[in-house]
Amino acid sequence: MARINLLDTRTTSFGDLISNDKIYRVPPFQRDYSWNEENWEDLWQDILVLHSNSDSSHYMGALVLQSSGTSDKEFTIIDGQQRLATLSIIAIAVIEKIQKLVEREEQKEANQERQEILKRTYLSDRDPRSLRYSSKILLNENNNDFYQ
């Protein structure tokens, strides 16, 4: 009988995970987004640790993904959707903060470029054929409209 690798584990950074052309979907059976201030604070402290020592790695929890089977670019999020969604929400907040700088004409062109890089890297990909943007993370039907 042939051996099948049922579990493929690896360590990767959030940037490496999300800065590709992959799409991550939360399945319908997953609970709704439910993190609160305590969860956000824990994650924020993790981010601050990484920021203060960018040469180090820091364990921020496991992310369990299942390949869609139809595409090597689509994955179902089995565990870790709260953390992944929150990290992308932080990216959205940073982009909005940069927008305020753009509106005040502070390094307008550079800040517009920063926004575009952050959007492409962490939030959405642009289809070269249709030129439409599509989100890298799709939440369940109760949360996705608000998130998008």
For the chain, the average pLDDT equals 85
**Residue-wise pLDDT tens digits, 107-145:** 999 999 999 998 888 888 777 777 777 788 889 888 888
For residues 62 and 11, give the distance between their C-alpha atoms in angstroms, rounded to a whole number: 9
Residue 81 confidence (pLDDT):
92
Question: What residue ranges in the chain does DSSP mark as E strands?
Answer: 23-25, 64-67, 74-79, 124-126, 133-135, 137-138
Single-letter amino acid code for the residue at 66: Q
Collapsing DSSP to helix, strand or coil, 16 comes out as: helix
- Tell me, rounded to whole angstroms, the distance of Cα 102 from its chain centroid: 24
Mean pLDDT of 73-91: 90
Strand bridging mode 23-25 / 124-126? unpaired
Residue 111 confidence (pLDDT):
95
Mean pLDDT of 57-73: 81
Q: Which two tokens stand for residue 143?
A: 């949360």
pTM score: 0.79
Collapsing DSSP to helix, strand or coil, 25 comes out as: strand
For residues 148 and 144, give the distance between their C-alpha atoms in angstroms, rounded to a whole number: 6
pLDDT for 34 beyond 60 = yes
